[in-house]
Amino acid sequence: MATGRPDRRLVVQGCGWTGCRRAAPVSVGGSLYLHVMSSLTADELALLDFEDQWWRYGGAKERDIAERFGLQPTRYYQRLNALIGRPEALAARPLVVRRLQRLRGARRRQAG
């Protein structure tokens, strides 16, 4: 039913410029968008990209983590767990972050 008012849905989209740390509402075609400017570092984006791609190639993930990031697996997973809870990560890589959040939720339900 049309009310004559613009549609006020909230849609999140990413900026892509990693140096920007602002969020601003933007109106496009009558819809209200929250334009989330990415504040993720290149290292954080690399973590998400690695999680998106490593399983396609197989191999020892822990070895790849040490070689690529110079981190122990425990520290890598701590950083990744903190990262997937951030809205900026969801805006930057939504499919990867949602998949990782689902896996984390399943592990928590199974453990407790």
What pLDDT was estimated at residue 10?
40
Summarize the confidence of residues 61-68 as an average pLDDT: 92
Q: Over 58-79, what HEC string results?
A: CCCHHHHHHHHHCCCHHHHHHH
CB distance 65 to 43 below 8 Å: no
**pLDDT tens-digit map of 29-60:** 455 444 445 588 999 999 999 999 987 777 78
pLDDT of residue 6: 42
pLDDT value at residue 54:
84
Instruction: Check pLDDT > 60 for residue 95.
Output: yes
Region 72-94: mean pLDDT is 95
Amino acid at 53: Q
* Summary mean pLDDT of the chain: 76
CB 71 within 8 A of CB 94: no
pLDDT of 81: 96
Q: Mean per-residue pLDDT for 63-72?
A: 93
